[in-house]
Every structure is written in C-alpha cells, then in structure tokens.
Structure 1
Amino acid sequence: MSERLTESIVYDFFRKHKGLSSGQSVTIYPQPQYNEIEKIKKLLKNASKKGNGDGKPEFIVTFPSPNSDLLIVVECKKDILKHQSKTGDQYGEYAVDGVLLYSSFLSKEYDVLSIAVSGITEEQLNVSHFLQLKGQPKAKALSTAELLTFNDYLRLYLYDEDKEKQSYEQLLDYSRKLNEHLRDIDLSESQRPLLVSGILMALEDAAFVASYKKKTVPSTLSKFLVTTISEKLDENKISGFAKNTMIQSYGFINTHSVLASDKLINIPSQTEEIISEDAIKGNYNTVLRDLIEDIEKNVKGFTRTYKYYDVLGKFYAEFLRYANGDKSLGIVLTPQHITELFVDIANVNENSIIYDNCTGTAGFPISAMKRMIELCQGNSAKEEQVYRNLIGAEANSNMFTLAVSNLLIRGVKTINIHYGSCFELAEDIKLLKPNVGFLNPPYAKKKEDARELKFVLNNLEVLQPLSTCIAIVPISCAINDPLKKELLKKHTLEAVFSMPEELFYDSKASTVTCIMVFTAHKPHEQSNKKTFFGYWRNDGFVKNKKYGRVDSEKQWQEIKSSWVSSFRDREPVEGQSLLKRVTAEDEWTAEAYLNTDYSTLTELEFEETLKSFLLFSLKDIS
C-alpha cells in the first residue's frame, strides 16, 4: 500500500478548511503543482531526500496577503513506525526527517510551518508540527499533535512567541526608516506620530482603502484623508470639543507644504524605498499616497494581529528619540512590560473600571483591556462593557488625539478618554465610579517643580473606597516630598517597589523610578498595616543598541511572577523585599531598610567597585 491513502486523508481535510475568516482562501498545491511558483521551484531544486535532485514534498500551501511570507509544507508516510528517526537524517524513510529537510531549504525565503503525517486511518494518524522562521538555522517543534484548520494554523503562526518578537522587531526597524523619511519631508516630531495615527484610522474605512490610490491630486487626497478621519470619529460617537480638538491636531495634513502640494516634490535619495515609480518618473507628487500605502503594508497588519501593543506609543518614542519634545513636556512613556505588571499587581478582572488620569498614548488602558477581554471569554456584551470601563484624562491635545486613535484602531467602540485637566475633570470622573487607578504622571523638569504626587492624589480622590491605585514616579517622591503626609492622611501605602535604574533607557530619560501602591480612602494609620517594600531593580531586560531594553534571555515572565507572588502573599524575600511600618517622615524605599549580605561579595566584585569609586572621585576632583 502506497502513501496515497495518507495523502488523501490530509488533502480531503485541507480542502474542507481552506477558507479563512478574512474571506480569503489558501491555495493547496499537491506535488508537482507547486513547481508553477518559480521561487519555490528554485528553493527545492537541490532539496532531494536522496541528495541528487529536486525536493518533492506531498503538498505545499500558500497564504494570501498579508501573510504571503508563510508556507505550509507536508510530508506523509503510510507506516506510523516511519514517523521520525532517532538520528533525524533519514530523509527518504521518515516523515519528520523529510519535511524538516524541505523546511531547511524553503526557510531561506519563507516562514515555514512543517507538518509530518503518518498512518492510514484518521484514528491512528500521527501528526507533528514544526515552525522555522525565515533565516533561522533550525525548526522548532510545536505542541500541536492533530491536523488543524488553516485559520488555526494562521493563529498558531502569528502568535508564536518567536514570530511575534520578529514582527515587533520588524516594526521597530520600520519605525526608524519611517522617522527618517518623515523628517526629510519636514514633518515635526509631534506631527509624525499624528500622521501615522490618522492614516491608520483612515485605513479602517473600506471606502478609503478602495479608493485612496486613485487620488492623483495630492491636495484632494489630503482632504480625503482628513474627511475620512472625521467620519470615523463620528461613527464612534466622538463629537463636540473632543472631536474638534482631534481634527485641529490633524489639520496640518491639509496645509503641509509637501503632503498637500500639487507640485512635484523631490525627495532625498535615502528614503527612495518609500517612493513610488510615479514619483521617481516625475509624473506627480505621490508622497502622501506612498506613505499611506507603505503604512498599510508595514503597520496595519501588525496593529490588527497584535492588538495589545501600544504601537503609537512606540512610534512616538522613536520619533522623539533624538529630540527634546517629550522631555520638555515631562512625558516619559511607560514600557509595555511595566503596564502589564500594573495589571497583575492590581489583579484586574473583567469587571474592573480603570482610570488613568495621565493617559498619554493609552498604554495602561490597552494593557488592562487585554486582560479584561481575555476574561470575557468571547462574551460580546461583556466586551462592550470593558470598552466603557477604560477611562482616561489627558490635557495635552496631541497626546489625547494619539490615545483616542490608538484605541479606535483596536476596534474599541466606546471611547471614554476625556480631554482636559484631570484636576478640573475630577467630579465628572468620580461619577463613573472607577475602582482601579493607574498613572505615570508628567515628571518635573526641576526639583522645585515637583508635582508628581499631586497627580497621584488626584487619581486616588476619584476612586471608589478601598480601590487600588498604582503609580510609577521618580524615586525622589519616596524620599523627601511634602505631599507624602497628605497621601497618608487619606490613603494607605500598601507597597513601594524600586525599579531598574535604566527602565526608561528607550526614551533617553535618566529618571530613576519607583512604583507606589495605595488603597484609596482608608487613612494609613487606621489600616495598622506594614508597608511592603520590594527591591525590584533587576527585571531581566538588557540594553540593546538597536532595540532599546529587551528581554533577550526571556527571564521577565518568571521574574514578574516571583515579584507579584511575593507582594500578594506579603512574604519577604531575603535581599529583595521586606515589610516595615512607615510614616510620612520615613523614606519609602527598600534600599533604606534591606540588610546588605556581604557574604556573597566576591573579591573581583570588590575590586571592580573600588576602581569605579576611585575613577568617580578623580573625575569629581578635576
């Protein structure tokens, strides 16, 4: 009996499930039909299992755009005893060995999901899956042991940890290229993220997507873009002062000397990859059209697939990386792993009502939404309530615009972000009964301007009694700030965590911070509780010149779990955390109370520390 029966089982299953939720379908190529694709034919030219000819897998499956970089390759064997060899190099005899050989060739140009199948009945079928991303030296085994629909295969691929990391790094690479291009066409640092956000909003409109490429007059296209943004705001019931504020923020699109110019524009050569042939040939100005097309290709797919990344926050940080705009405003965007840490510390659930009185680009609401939507388990009514329960306040018009657009492109149908001063909005917010407060307030530029704890007090003021408020603030607030006394008079200080010194390395800020946790409307003295202090200086992230601080050794999840568990259990960990009763006059840092264990100090560490101290002293003398 040949392998045809095994192939028939697989092929029949695949044909039943070739449709995707997008309305598109995959294309299944049985041997030898995939030779019609020249690129695949060339890659398999020397992939014979015998080492002397073309590779011939049973099937190859291709996916439509935007996932055309993914291939599925299938190898079948009738005998389940011929599923996988011990050595892995019996390519002609075993299904796994053979399919991984094909993967090693195809992965030079594609991401490859390999499927090895053995057996002649559906009941006994043995199925193994592997993923090898483009350029990776080897494939990794996946835990799935049965045939899946192509929708499920697409999810398995897109949400694979390595694929997600790769996609995110590609987005960061693209943000740098885009930043250079937008700088070259004379867009300011504040205008760049606004343009990206506006384009992403417009790309959610089917009519805009279908017709923007046909607009050959730049001034007509710029007006079409802003009109579409306005219509999207109307659809989402954003009106009045809030809508006018956002439209004003986007107003530069219609007046910009390059974007809206009907004259041909010469673009510097270093950004030619974002320029169309029409522009190169000198036909007409296609700068805005090319930008929209490029963002549709490189960003839209990411925001749809990975809904809970603060993409606009990342673009904002990149666009301001070498400027002073964010620092002059005291704006320091919170890293995503810290916004997720807040969600864990607060034990956010689907019924939480979140309030961020310094919303920024909406990093905290987005992380909270991720947890809350997961807990809704597909209940659409509960999900609608989640959207209503994401409350924010933002006084900076551009940041307000970014926050609202950031939520809109994630499909949030009810936007509850308020434009204006959180101090003036306090009474209105209080009526919404928030029960979890998150914030990263604007940081003072000078010591005498210190006001971070005013924002903490404001957040606590509007929360329901016994709610949790979590704030990340400069560590100076924990040492000598007169507002500490007012905080403890009304609220309980549950915990303070000292954070990594270079936590905000990505934003080029030098602020050393701590996280404070409060229980609202219960005076500290009345709680009669010791405060938990954590020395959380090592989050496992390391500096990477290209990507900023990254979790390269994948330590963060374990570290976070350890931190959160010790806090929730209120269990001190030697050298890392302790419980201590404090007042407003005391220092609120773990460093002030932890005992240093000198027994672990090595001679080399001592020498290095001494050298550093001597160099510092000499520098100070000079």
Structure 2
Amino acid sequence: MSKNERKTESIVRKHFEAFLDNIIIEEQSSDNPKIKKLLATASKNGLGVGFPEFIIQYKNNPDFLIVVECKADIIKHESSNRDKYRDFSVDGVLLYSSYLSKEFDVLSIAVSGETHTNKKVSHFLQVKGDKKATEIFSDKLLSADDYLNGYIKSPEKFRQDYEKLLTFSKDLNDKLHGQKIVESDRGLLISCILIALENKAFSKSYKDYSEPKQLAEYLVTTVKNEFQNGNIGDDKLLILTSRFAFIKTDTSLSKKDNVLRNIISDINENIKDFIKTHEYFDVLGQLYIEFLRYANSDKGLGIVLTPPHITEFMSEIAEVNKDSTVYDNCTGTGGFLVSAMNLMVKDAKGDQDKIKNIKKNQLVGVEYQAHIFALACSNMFIHQDGKSNILNGSCFDEDIVKEIKKFKPTVGLLNPPYKSDKKNDVDEYKFILNNLDCLEQGGKCVAIIPMQSALAQTGKVYEYKKKVLEQHTLEAVFSMPDELFFNSKVNVVSCIMVFTAKRPHPKNKKVYFGYYKNDGFVKRKTKGRVDLYRKFEKEIKENWITSYMNKEEKAGFSVTKVVFADDEWCAEAYMETDYSNLSKDDFERSIKDFVLFKGIYLNEISKD
C-alpha cells in the first residue's frame, strides 16, 4: 500500500491549530521577507528555493521559529548520515534549520508516519549563529507553550543569552568607567537599579524624570521601600541605604542629564529579562567579576569570586537538596547561596510551600565588608529569597556564631579570603574550621582554597591541618585548573576540599584525590575564560562528580590514599601517570610546572 504524506501533514496541522492564539502557521513558504530570503537557496537538491511543510512563528517571540518536515513512511525518518535531504524528514528539516538559523533561533521538528499511534517525532534546537543543531524534547508533539518554555530554558538559549550578558557587561563597565564611577560602586549601582525595576511604579515612571537629581533620589527611595517591605530589619536597612547613598551625590549620576536614566534603560533591556529567564544564575556576581577583570582594585582585599560553574559543581558535590540548610560564612556576592538555591528549588519539584521555606529559612550567610554585604543582600533580594538571613559582621564573632547555629546548617560552602599578608591575615583553614563548627554533625563542608594550603607539611598551616583532622573528616581534595580565577585577574592555583563535620578523621581512611585540572574552559580576549565548546556542561562536570562519588581510581586523573596532617593533600603527589597519552609537549609542560612549583610554592610555604 502506498504511503500518503498528506496524512502526516494533517496530523501536524491539526495539532498546531489548537494554539492559533499564540502562533502563526504557514505552509511551504512565508510572507515574512527575512524567512523568504533565507529559504531562497535552501532547496533539498541545492538548486533553488526550499519549501518546508510548515513554518511556525510566535506572535510575541519573533526571533524564534518552528520548522516542520513530514514523511509518510517511518522508515524514511532519518538516514545514517543525515544527508539525504529529499528522502528523510530529519535530514530535510535540519537542512532548513541550517539556513534559517542564520537569522533566527530554530526548533526543527521531523514527523514520520501516517497515524497518531504509529509515528516518529524528533526535535532539534539550533540557536542563531550555531553551526549544529542539538536534540531536545521527547518523541512526542508538545504544545506551543511547552516548546517556547523549553527553548527559553534550554542550555543553548542560556549560552546565547550569557554571551550577550558578557558583551553587555563589558560595554556597561566601559560606560561606567567613562562616567568616573569607581569600581567598588558599580556593582552597588546595578543591584540598586535591578531592585528598583522590580517595582512596577518605578519601572513605568523612571523615564518621566528629566532632572537627574530627582531620579537619583527616586531610585534610592524606591529600593529603601522595597527592602522595608521585605522586613529586612532596621540594622541591615541602615547599612544598605548608607551604601546606596552615593548615587544621590555622584556627579555623573545626580547632575549629568540622561546619564542615570540611560543606564537604567540599558540594564532594564539587557539584564532584567536575563534574570527572569535564568532566575537562579548569579548575575550580580558575574558582573562584579567582569568589573574586577578590567580594574581589580579589590585584589588587595583578597576578593576572589568563585566562577559560577564551580559554585554549581561544589553545591552538587555537597549533595544539596530541598531539605538542606546551607551556610556560607564568606558570602561575598552570594554566588554559593544562589547556586544552592537553584538545586534546592529544583529538588522541591514545584512545591511552593517548600520553595518559600527554602528561601526564607534554609539559606544563611555572613559577610564582613559592608559594600559586599549590600551586594549579597541585593543579589538574594533579586532572587526573592532569604536576604534576611545574611548577617553583616565577622563570622568569628560569638554572637553571630550562636545566631547561625540556630538555623542548624547541614551544608557549608565557602571561598574564604585569600591571604595577601601572610603574617597578619586570617588563615583559610580558620574559616573552614569556623564553617564546620556551625554545621550539624555529619554535615558536608566544601571549600575552595589556595593549593599551597594543601601542600603545607610544617609550620602554622600544618597545625591547622592537624586540628581539622582531629575534629572532622577529610573526604576529598580536587586540584583545580591553574587559571580558574583568570576572570577575576587573580593568579592563584586552588583546590577544593570536602569535609564531613564533627566526625574525627579515621586513622586508616582513604581520601579521594582528583586531578581536575581540565574544566574545558578556554580564554577569549573579550570574554575571559569561557566554556566555549560546552565541554564542562556536557561531560566534564558529570565525570568529576561520578568519579568522586564512586571513589574511582584512574591513572592520570584520580587516586585514593591514606593521608595525615604532615602529608601533601593533592592528587599530584600520589596518582599514577597515564603514559598512554604522553607527548613531548606534556613532558616540557611538566618540567615548567615543576620549576614553577619549586620556585613559588615551596618558597611560600617556607615563609609560613
């Protein structure tokens, strides 16, 4: 019996006609001149115009298209090499996508089969500028809203939006620099604007203010009212309003026509939507990192903001879930708490009461520096969470420790300030011990610190290592990429340590050591260190986590070893070399690493 492709088309047509309030369906060709031009050379035989079965546009999302190709015979769904464009539905729809994605984000749908019960459906997403399409969704036709939401929340869309954010953050930094707004105030200004834009009245009316001084007053007053309505407390409100007060007196912001108004508009157009779409990404932290890249006046204060992919990785290593209470005693801009919140909310699976409790009671932080504290509170406010549980002060203060312990934290995440003055600054292990002391017994603490702290075998740092093992269990140490903090313009080689709280380290316990030097990130001049090829997202992170969870031993990658306080806590000291992949370049690189190690780290340790 011959197959009838019209039956397949009828199935698709009837499916999408149910959503005509939101979409426009066209067949074979389009009235959109941009689409028409792109399909002008998209013929399956390479000789002319391409004619997809269906072209679907969203009325309120003009940058996103759906293109559909149909075949009656399931056997003709997909060829082995996807290069039989005339004969197979997957092959044909991906051809159209390759043309349309030059100007649009394209969801390609291949449908084969003549009946609802006997059909094949494949989906592919190719965002504008990408050379390849990525498989997405299940093998069933979904609603128009499901397609749109899936596209918006997809990793591909996030990467596209994130790259735009990086570009905008550089442009914004240049603009703020040109207006002589000091680096330490730039993050505060942006956070203030983002909070104000959450207020509907401000969002609608700020453009009506022609006098810059009045707009500056309106901006700060709006944010003060937002914090008051959030019951943040009088003491914290006083700190926050004092940190934002510079906006009312800054020469460029309060006296120059249109400067503040244009900055607000830029942020409204380029950042606000990103936060709404990717609600648990630490945007303020990322912007702050960008500001540090171009003018790191805070380096002397030991501020080293953890890259977002590492805060996420550490949260997963700590096994954060909906029932965790997470504590960061060196909160910074709040990056760890945002990443933890993301995992906790996902694990809550839509339980709104649980999500509300997570944001209100299960995220706790302490930040010493007032301007960073203001950023952290703002960041958490933007994410509609527990800003009331971030304290301003020293994490070593007895009253603060008592307050933190009331929350009964089960997970500790921290990136302590790195010592710039070896003699007078607080040691990183002291912050780790403080965090562990606040956790419930059996809680997990994951900290990222300089590698030299792991290598110490004598002196003050050794004494701290000894104290840690007397009171807590060392579970793992991961050697991190050498240039992990490249974007913060800080040259420090780091490691991540995993501890179990309040259980002394067993004498013969094997500790997992991972050589996690390759996270797949590459350096680009204007964007810094980025996951350009999505290696970390697609495979490396999962490999890191799985290897640790299973305590796998792999030559050149990981090893387990019984260690004591006077041992070096790093994979490099114990793991076997994987000779199968060695080259001359590897040998030369190792020699250079050794010389660097001997010349810098051993010298630093001897100073301690």
**Deviations, residues 23-46 of structure 1 (Å, cap 9, x unaligned):** xx63314348941x3433443445
**Deviations, residues 185-219 of structure 1 (Å, cap 9, x unaligned):** 12111121222222222222222222223333333
2:445 to 445, 450, 469: 469
Query: Do structure 1's residue 548 and structure 2's residue 528 form an aligned pair?
Result: yes
Paired residue secondary structure (1:460):
helix
Q: Which residue of 2 aligns with 1:428?
A: 403
Amino acid at match of 1:399: I
Amino acid at match of 1:460: L
**Deviations, residues 267-320 of structure 1 (Å, cap 9, x unaligned):** xxxxxxxxxxxxxxxxxx322222222222221222122223211111001112
Aligned residues of 1:361 and 1:406 also touching (Cα < 8 A): yes
* Pair 575,96 (structure 1): closer, same or farther in 2 beyond 3 Å: closer
Aligned residues of 2:69 and 2:92 also touching (Cα < 8 A): yes
* Pair 362,7 (structure 1): closer, same or farther in 2 beyond 3 Å: same
Query: Do structure 1's residue 302 and structure 2's residue 274 form an aligned pair?
Result: yes
Aligned residues of 2:364 and 2:386 also touching (Cα < 8 A): no
Work out the CA distance in 2 between the residues paired with 1:314 and 1:559.
Answer: 22
Work out the CA distance in 2 between the residues paired with 1:401 and 1:382.
Answer: 27
Task: Output aligned runs, 1:249-398, within 5 Å.
Answer: 249-261=243-255, 265=256, 285-387=257-359, 388-398=361-371
Paired residue secondary structure (2:251):
coil
Q: Which residue of 2 aligns with 1:588?
A: 569
Paired residue secondary structure (2:219):
helix
Query: Do structure 1's residue 490 and structure 2's residue 462 form an aligned pair?
Result: no
Work out the CA distance in 2 between the residues paired with 1:50 and 1:531.
Answer: 60
Query: Structure 1 residue 179: deviation in Å?
Result: 0.9
Q: Which residue of 2 aligns with 1:512?
A: 493
Paired residue secondary structure (1:259):
helix
Task: Output aligned runs, 1:192-203, within 5 Å.
Answer: 192-203=186-197
Q: Root-mean-square deviation (CA), in Å?
A: 3.3
Query: Do structure 1's residue 161 and structure 2's residue 180 form an aligned pair?
Result: no
Aligned residues of 1:575 and 1:597 also touching (Cα < 8 A): yes
Query: Do structure 1's residue 536 and structure 2's residue 516 form an aligned pair?
Result: yes
Work out the CA distance in 2 between the residues paired with 1:504 and 1:3.
Answer: 56
Query: Do structure 1's residue 43 and structure 2's residue 38 form an aligned pair?
Result: yes
**Deviations, residues 531-580 of structure 1 (Å, cap 9, x unaligned):** 43333333333333333333345443544444434433445444444444
Q: Which residue of 2 aligns with 1:446?
A: 421
* Pair 522,4 (structure 1): closer, same or farther in 2 beyond 3 Å: closer
Work out the CA distance in 1 between the residues paired with 2:416 and 2:326.
Answer: 16
Aligned residues of 1:313 and 1:361 also touching (Cα < 8 A): yes
Query: Structure 1 residue 430: deviation in Å?
Result: 1.1
Task: Output aligned runs, 1:561-576, within 5 Å.
Answer: 561-576=542-557
Q: Which residue of 1 aligns with 2:56?
A: 61
Work out the CA distance in 1 between the residues paired with 2:589 and 2:84.
Answer: 53
Query: Structure 1 residue 333: deviation in Å?
Result: 0.7
Query: Do structure 1's residue 191 and structure 2's residue 172 form an aligned pair?
Result: no
Work out the CA distance in 2 between the residues paired with 1:327 and 1:342.
Answer: 23
Q: Which residue of 1 aligns with 2:375?
A: 402
Work out the CA distance in 2 between the residues paired with 1:563 and 1:50.
Answer: 45
Paired residue secondary structure (1:325):
coil
Paired residue secondary structure (2:497):
strand
Work out the CA distance in 2 between the residues paired with 1:502 and 1:163.
Answer: 27
Aligned residues of 2:555 and 2:577 also touching (Cα < 8 A): no
Aligned residues of 1:26 and 1:61 also touching (Cα < 8 A): no
Aligned residues of 2:187 and 2:288 also touching (Cα < 8 A): yes
456-465 vs 354-363, which moves further:
456-465
**Deviations, residues 93-144 of structure 1 (Å, cap 9, x unaligned):** 7654554444333222111112334555444444332322223345444453
Query: Structure 1 residue 253: deviation in Å?
Result: 2.0
Query: Structure 1 residue 332: deviation in Å?
Result: 0.3
603-612 vs 367-376, which moves further:
603-612
Work out the CA distance in 1 between the residues paired with 2:567 and 2:354.
Answer: 44
User: Identity of paired residues, percent?
Assistant: 49
Paired residue secondary structure (2:423):
helix
Work out the CA distance in 1 between the residues paired with 2:117 and 2:578.
Answer: 60
Paired residue secondary structure (1:320):
helix
Query: Structure 1 residue 357: deviation in Å?
Result: 0.3
538-547 vs 378-387, which moves further:
538-547
609-618 vs 418-427, which moves further:
609-618
Q: Which residue of 1 aligns with 2:229?
A: 235
* Pair 32,253 (structure 1): closer, same or farther in 2 beyond 3 Å: farther
**Deviations, residues 54-83 of structure 1 (Å, cap 9, x unaligned):** 655454333355x43211233455666665
Task: Output aligned runs, 1:77-92, within 5 Å.
Answer: none
Aligned residues of 2:24 and 2:59 also touching (Cα < 8 A): no
Amino acid at match of 1:428: E
Work out the CA distance in 2 between the residues paired with 1:513 and 1:604.
Answer: 23
Work out the CA distance in 1 between the residues paired with 2:153 and 2:407.
Answer: 35
TM-score (normalised: structure 1): 0.84
* Pair 464,608 (structure 1): closer, same or farther in 2 beyond 3 Å: closer
Q: Which residue of 1 aligns with 2:603?
A: none
Q: Which residue of 1 aligns with 2:64?
A: 70
Amino acid at match of 2:56: V
Query: Structure 1 residue 429: deviation in Å?
Result: 0.6
Q: Which residue of 1 aligns with 2:604?
A: none
Aligned residues of 1:437 and 1:469 also touching (Cα < 8 A): yes
Q: Which residue of 2 aligns with 1:268?
A: none
Aligned residues of 2:23 and 2:56 also touching (Cα < 8 A): yes
* Pair 128,223 (structure 1): closer, same or farther in 2 beyond 3 Å: same
Work out the CA distance in 2 between the residues paired with 1:351 and 1:38.
Answer: 53
Paired residue secondary structure (1:447):
coil
219-228 vs 333-342, which moves further:
219-228
Work out the CA distance in 2 between the residues paired with 1:83 and 1:569.
Answer: 39
Q: Which residue of 2 aligns with 1:16?
A: 18
508-517 vs 212-221, which moves further:
212-221
* Pair 614,359 (structure 1): closer, same or farther in 2 beyond 3 Å: closer
Work out the CA distance in 1 between the residues paired with 2:86 and 2:589.
Answer: 57
Q: Which residue of 1 aligns with 2:99?
A: 105
Paired residue secondary structure (1:187):
coil
* Pair 82,598 (structure 1): closer, same or farther in 2 beyond 3 Å: closer
Aligned residues of 2:377 and 2:387 also touching (Cα < 8 A): no
TM-score (normalised: structure 2): 0.86
Query: Do structure 1's residue 206 and structure 2's residue 206 form an aligned pair?
Result: no
Query: Structure 1 residue 611: deviation in Å?
Result: 8.4
Query: Do structure 1's residue 128 and structure 2's residue 122 form an aligned pair?
Result: yes
Aligned residues of 1:426 and 1:462 also touching (Cα < 8 A): yes
Query: Structure 1 residue 259: deviation in Å?
Result: 2.1
Query: Structure 1 residue 347: deviation in Å?
Result: 1.8
List runs of 5+ in structure 2 lacking aligned partners: 600-608
Q: How many residues align?
A: 587
